[in-house]
Amino acid sequence: MPGETFSYNQTVGQRTKAAGFKEAPAYLNGQVVQEVGGGICQVSSTLYNAVLYSNLEIVERYNHGFKPSYVKPGLDATVSWGGPDFKFKNNRNYPIRIKTDTSGKVLKIYIYGLKTDNDYTVKLDAQYVSNVPYKTIYQKDSSLASGESKVIQNGSNGCKTATYKYLYDSNGTLVSSECISRDTYNPHNQIVAVGY
């Protein structure tokens, strides 16, 4: 309803097997693990984009600690039960409806409302700003011969992004530009085992 705030965590609820959630890959302390409700952030990120394109008010949003693979960095919204939430407010003068549709492995989210004279076309631009270089961490390994080494985990750079939202009127004239977020994504450090 107008003025109401939508909370992703409160709406979806705690991710448990009893609630019907399954295990899928998720990040835990920088490592990919199987976790009940893993992958839930693909849904929150899709909703985040739908909310941005609908020009609704973002109340709370956090980026992931690492670059997501399913959406451009700067356009994600991470959630976790008891932790980060994604919230937005219906800043319109009429109710809105959120509809989700899944087909196979594709999720679509639609936000319905009333067309008004002051509606805008929204364009988003998540820009790469800079790299966050990974480090190489060496760990002693007694199973390796002295001087021998083995890569346990390959490294990959993180990045910094700046995301902009542009509003255009019905004539295609730019009426507003705003930096809506500046995000940092951590690198995955390279880990090398070294014999001693």
Burial class (CB in 10 A: 0-12, 13-18, 19+), 189: middle
Structural domain range at position 53 = 5-194
Overall number of domains in the chain: 1
pTM of the model: 0.89
Mean residue pLDDT across the chain: 93
- Maximum Cα–Cα distance for the chain, whole Å? 74
Note the pLDDT tens digit of each residue in 151-189: 999 999 999 999 999 999 999 999 999 999 999 999 999
The CATH number given to whatever domain includes residue 97 is 2.20.230.10
Note the pLDDT tens digit of each residue in 56-107: 999 999 999 999 989 999 999 999 998 899 999 999 999 999 999 999 889 9
* Coil vs helix vs strand at 106: strand
Q: Could you give the angle at the alpha carbon of 26 between the alpha carbons of 152 and 86, nearest 5°?
A: 140
Length of the chain, in residues: 196
